[in-house]
Amino acid sequence: MGMDLSTLRTLISRYCAGEENWVDTRTVYIGHREPPPGTEAYIPQRFPDNRIVSSKYTFWNFIPKNLFEQFRRIANFYFLIIFLVQLIIDTPTSPITSGLPLFFVITVTAIKQGYEDWLRHKADNSVNQCPVHVVQHGKVVCKQSRKLRVGDVVLMKEDQTFPCDLILLSSSRDDGTCFVTTASLDGESSHKTYYSVQDTKAYNTEKEVDSIKATIECEQPQPDLYKFVGRINIYMDSEPVARPLGSENLLLRGATLKNTEYIYAVAIYTGMETKMALNYQSKSQKRSAVEKSMNAYLVVYLCILISKAFINTALKYIWQADPNRDEPWYNQRTGGERERHILIRAFTDFLAFMVLFNYIIPVSMYVTVEMQKFLGSYFIMWDDEIMDEELGERAVVNTSDLNEELGQVEYVFTDKTGTLTENNMEFIECCVDGHVYVPDAICNGQVMPGADTMDMIDSSPGPGAREGEELFFRALCLCHTVQVKEEETVDGIKRGIHQGKATSIYISSSPDEVALVEGMQRLGFTYLRLKDSHMEILNREDELERFELLEVLTFDSVRRRMSVIVRASTGDVYLFCKGADSSIFPRVISGKVEQVKARVEHNAVEGLRTLCVAYRRLNPEQYAEVCALLSEARLALQDRDRRLAEAYDLIEKDLVLLGATAVEDRLQEKAADTVESLHKAGMKVWVLTGDKMETAAATCYASKLFRRGTHILELTTKRMEEQSLHDVLFDLSRTVLRQHTGMARDTFSGLSGDCTDYGLIIDGATLSAVLKPGQEDSNSGNYKEIFLEICRNCSAVLCCRMAPLQKAQIVKLIKASKEHPITLAIGDGANDVSMILEAHVGIGIMGKEGRQAARNSDYAIPKFKHLKKMLLVHGHYYYIRISELVQYFFYKNVCFIFPQFLYQFFCGFSQQPLYDTAYLTLYNISFTSLPILLYSLMEQHINMDILKKDPTLYRDIAKNCLLRWPIFIYWTFLGVYDAIVMFFGAYFLFDNTTFTSNGQMFGNWTFGTLVFTVLVFTVTFKLALDTHYWTWINHFVIWGSLIFFVVFSLLWGGIIWPFLNYQRMYYVFMQMLSSGPAWLSIILLITAGLLPDVLKKVVWRALWPTTTERIQNKRRCLASEPSTIFMLSQTSSRISF
């Protein structure tokens, strides 16, 4: 009974407790085992499975969802309405003329989007069906990853990636720890240490783990990668034991187990509730700026269409006011028609005119654009220059809807580790007492023998300095947290120390430490291992030296240094300290400070990561004092971190400077050149990284994001400790605005050589404060606007210590700013997915950090350097091509339908079509579609080598300049002019009664055919005049489409195939061609239609040429001298904009 009451009480407290107790926590039963009777109620909760979904559609919702998305487009929805009107009322044209093109457009688009989503499903399935080993009933069984449930106990082995968020129960290591790389989460490839629960670390077999009776109470899923709060209740024989759980016990999905044979862990967050999945942005439909322009133009043309229909309807009833015109003898009305109300008749006529003129809205433009994007994307995938031969990887296009957006990018947001850098540290040099040592270098013209080859740039050290040199090398061999792995392969790559001494590789939470230890090994001092609290090293004479490790004063970002206290075999106790120059120099009391400082500054300017090394010899009394300080601080229950920091501060003083080191996180090949090209092209580059500020800043200098003369502005936690956020922001704002006073601050303008070049550094904590909604008090302003104003005036921005969602927030902030710039995000890890999804264009790099970024991106490329060609060449071409395609489509449809509008004035507004039904249907589908499609795939208005050499040409197409309203209006007026020339030219020629040799008069279908013939030839020749890049395919398609029109007209008129004696068009085309004046009129009208556009281009090129047009002219001049073409990029860079 007591047990029942206890259970009831727990249930009531659970269900009746406030939201804080119930909603914000979850209880996980390890191995799905019920707790012992009488402890607590067993209330199983429902959690999602471990399925990851990045696709948009399912088999069941594809048709309705895709149709809904497609009919959100104005043109598609409009044509659906027109098609329904044609079905319902009596209209002058057949419903097929609207229905067939619409069906074609919808089908092609659905197939394309379905195929792209099928590829996403395929990628998801490869992850969801990955095998995972789960402990069940004391045995290990294999499950698919998607079937994993919260509470399952998972067995993970070395180099496996965690399938969900896990709490570590035990590991193969005696101390219960395991080592993990979180490269795909925060971009850091270093090894991090995680700890198992103290009471379960001894359970090392399946049966032992299966016998654990425990529950975990923890917070509900939330996206912060670095925060976790929970507790584990372990039910032993006696009372249950509660232990705290923190982020050091939590293994995140996507991280990889390293240097640990196996671990047992329990799943607590699965599927879309894992911290990594919560950091994904929701996948939304991205629309390019070109598509938005197309929609705006369609609205304008829709207004024109409604105006035309309204004017014609009104004029029809004015015309029919005369009874003789209203009901002529040959067209008597029925009784039903006479009885209908005039408003109903007027509305029906209005709809009929809408149907007649509806071809001004080019529905086939959408299918042509879709085909152009889909087929055009293959040029990226086929590009041999965007290929990594080492990996055998080519570029991948996941979404072809954004090709032209690559030519409009204004802001580039890039990850650092693995994107800009190779994520591979290399020891470059060290400076000891002013003497510089470079491993494997040349000294006095000869390569020095042995492992200790080095280049002493200054004079060789004397006997006294030799001792300092060896002490420096020993300090770097001892002052670290490196572990040694005695195996030949890591990640399938054979590495190690092959000197007959050891075959091992170094791993550490800091890649810098590994680089330093490997550098010392190249200089003759090899770190072997940590064994029984003793660190073993081999000196230059291959003698083993043992040092007892007494204390480790761990590194933290505030102190920016770390220390070890060791006892040598002689009994001497040393404190070795290494850290950033700013944290070591103030604590040094002797040593060659000036020489070392000069070398450190020299290396920092070169973009190398520098560390200083110092030491202090401790006598027994000092060592005893150090032990007391540390012991007291470590036992404190409150303010432990602060007390430890104070103790470290007291211990790390009175140091003797030994020297400094320089390490390089090698940039990816041509990364600096790519960043520089993007700057020249007018783009602003921001680096968003989870890395430390110092590391990231060094990379920014190396990649030429920051230059030597760049004035760095800091908006960091360190500065916020000295001033309030309000004061710091206003100080920085004054600094940049003082410089830019009187200057136009266009975000896309080039950097002036006369003004100071500013670079901004901000960290994650400060960014959170900036993005918080402003308070209503007098001291708080709109921080976002001030922050954006500062950023606009900086040539480059570095954001460090960023959480994945913060990266997306930064991108969103810039996207939403008043200029609404086009943004691009590029990264290689799962931590970059959020910003990749948030940016207008997302690019994933197929790097070492998994495939999450590549899978969720719009485009995936093997290396950062390939971004240059993607934007400057492919992006440039795609934008030029599609902008011509859009403008040309509207132009040719104005030419097509405006004569129909004019014709109504000559046929009593009777809705009589000017063109035959076949011509109406096939004009956009067959006669004029292929030439523009091929143009939009093949056109190269300028050679791609010049586009690569001269990035400033990218500015010529900036800000959607080819689809601005003035250009759109010019094309529209050109179409109206051509239509007037065609219609009235043919009309006045028809006034001549002797038009044919036998004196026969032409009918209305011959008139319409003459106008249509001039129309097809004029718009095709217009495209031919705009083509700069001619191939045999262009010739075949352009002239072939004209031949097809002539052949079809002969066929349709019953000339080639007499059985097709279609009544109203029978022999019409042949009769027209038999007239000499008709031939003359065709030639004259085509010439008159094209002449103004040709004259305008000639005048504009002569008086106001663009940079692109100047280069085109130069290429023509230099065509006979190919050797001089390479000079063009130098010439064009001097041309003013």
**Catalytic residue positions, numbered:** 415
What kind and span of H or E run contains 113?
helix 96-128
Token pair for 318? 């004015």
- Interior/surface letters 848-880, b for 16+ CB within 10 angstroms, e for the rest: bbbbbbbbbbbbbbbbbbbbbbbbbbbbbbbbb
Closest CA to 703 of 732, 678, 733: 678
> What is the distance between the terminal CA atoms of the chain, rounded to a whole angstrom?
89
CA distance 746 to 385: 34
Closest CA to 523 of 592, 590, 438: 438
Listing DSSP states for 170-228 in one string gives: EESSTTSEEEEEEHHHHSEEEEEEEE--TTTTT--SHHHHHT--EEEEEEPP-S-TT--
Closest CA to 810 of 992, 663, 952, 687: 687
Q: Give SS3 for 332.
A: coil
Pairing of strands 435-437, 859-861: unpaired
DSSP state, residue 23: T
Looking up tokens 């430490």, which residue turns up? 513
- Beta-carbon contacts of residue 1128 (< 8 Å; ≥ 6 apart): 946, 949, 950, 1111, 1114, 1115, 1118
Token pair for 861? 């490329």
CA dist 266 → 163, 171, 684 (Å)? 11, 12, 45
Q: Give SS3 for 817.
A: coil
CA distance 753 to 703: 20
Phi, psi (degrees; rounded to nearest 5) at 47: -125, 155
Phi-psi region of 308 (alpha: psi -120 to 50; beta: other; left: phi over 0): alpha
Q: Give SS3 for 89.
A: coil
CA distance 836 to 859: 10
Q: Is the dihedral of CA 271, 276, 278, 279 positive or negative?
A: negative
CB 106 within 8 A of CB 76: yes
CB 187 within 8 A of CB 831: yes
Looking up tokens 């090398």, which residue turns up? 473
CA distance 585 to 587: 5
In 923-1026 the beta strands, taken as DSSP E runs, fall at none
Listing DSSP states for 912-931 in one string gives: --SS-HHHHHHIIIIITHHH
182, β-bridge pairs: 188
CA distance 1037 to 1042: 9
Token pair for 524? 């003759």
CA dist 226 → 186, 557, 641, 743, 806 (Å)? 10, 15, 17, 43, 13
Closest CA to 146 of 159, 163, 160: 163
CB 813 within 8 A of CB 786: no
Neighbours of 435 (CB within 10 A): 23
Token pair for 188? 């850091």
Dihedral, CA atoms, 543, 546, 552, 555, nearest 10 degrees?
10
